[in-house]
Amino acid sequence: MIERGRLITLEGGEGAGKSTLLEGLRAHLESHGVDPLLAREPGGTALGEQVRTILLDPAQRSMCAESELLLMFASRAQLVRETLEPALAAGRWVLCDRYVDASYAYQGGGRGQPVERIAALERWACAGLKPDLTLLLDLPVADGRARAAGRGEADRIEVEADGFFERVRTAYRARAVDEPHRFRVIDAGQPPEAVLRAAIAATAHLFGATA
Ligand SMILES: Nc1ncnc2c1ncn2[C@@H]1O[C@H](COP(=O)(O)OP(=O)(O)OP(=O)(O)O)[C@@H](O)[C@H]1O
Ligand SMILES: Cc1cn([C@H]2C[C@H](O)[C@@H](COP(=O)(O)O)O2)c(=O)[nH]c1=O
């Protein structure tokens, strides 16, 4: 019987260092004989990438919070069924740049969408798929924004005010407190090598664990 793979998700505010960590973790896993599948949200499938384009398009100024929430979950439902579930069932490990916690943080914390609404969508769209480990890269908003600056035109979400991102950060941290068995909070203000070391330590229990 094939042992189920592991789902590791990376979360955090803008510029927290998720993409940087993803590459470091990929290299670490590869050096341990694990060839992880990389995915991202919104996106990660042909359909999801088209949804992502709409979601992040600065021209979509009139998008309401409800549409934003539903589009995030449309992308996620497709990713779960087309990519994540088949990969995990085939024994593949997956590193996913954001997953459902981002909706609790951004659409819940940031936009004020009710938690029960997001939880209902999660039950429907994610079909029970929970990460084995979620690495939350925690960084003061101003530091993340400074890092993200200079990447060209800001997308539709990046243009939000600091208050929005403070609420996102608060919501992320609250989720980590609520689910300590799944989350590891990493101080993303450390140098990249230290962030990677902390992440590697957090993954150690996944090797050989029964999923
Ligand atoms: N620990 C770190 N210390 C200092 N700079 C970092 C660190 N990690 C990443 N950076 C730099 O910060 C910038 C943003 O990093 P990265 O793209 O990895 O973040 P991200 O979380 O994926 O961002 P976003 O979600 O906004 O796309 C990059 O220029 C990267 O080199
Ligand atoms: C999954 C997800 C994402 N978002 C937001 C968070 C970011 O602002 C963008 C994605 O861009 P990234 O730089 O590639 O991380 O989308 C969200 O608001 N809700 C979600 O569920």
Pairing outcome for strands 7-12 and 133-138:
parallel
Residue 44 is assigned to a ligand binding site: no
Domains of the chain, each with CATH number or no CATH: 7-206 (3.40.50.300)
Q: 69: helix, coil or strand?
A: helix
Q: What is the pLDDT of residue 151?
A: 83
169-180 tens-digit pLDDT: 999 999 999 999
If you average pLDDT over residues 140-152, what whole number do you get? 92
| 67-82 pLDDT per residue, tens | 999 999 999 999 999 9
Spatial distance between the Cα atoms of 2 and 25, rounded to a whole number of angstroms? 23
Closest-CA residue, ligand 2 atom 8, reads 157
**Cα–ligand 1 centroid distance for 28 (angstroms):** 18
14 is in an annotated binding site: yes
Cα–Cα distance between 18 and 97 in angstroms, integer?
A: 7
With contact defined as beta carbons under 8 Å apart, do 99 and 9 qualify? yes
Query: What tens digit of pLDDT does each residue of 99-133 get?
Result: 999 999 999 999 999 999 999 999 999 999 999 99
Give CA–CA dist 45/19, Å, rounded. 18
Euclidean distance between CA atoms 20 and 22, whole angstroms: 5
Q: What is the pLDDT of residue 208?
A: 77
Cα 2 to ligand 1 centre (Å): 35
Q: What distance in Å separates the CA atoms of residue 64 and residue 190, rounded to the nearest whole number?
A: 36
Are the C-beta atoms of residues 48 and 80 closer than 8 Å to each other?
no
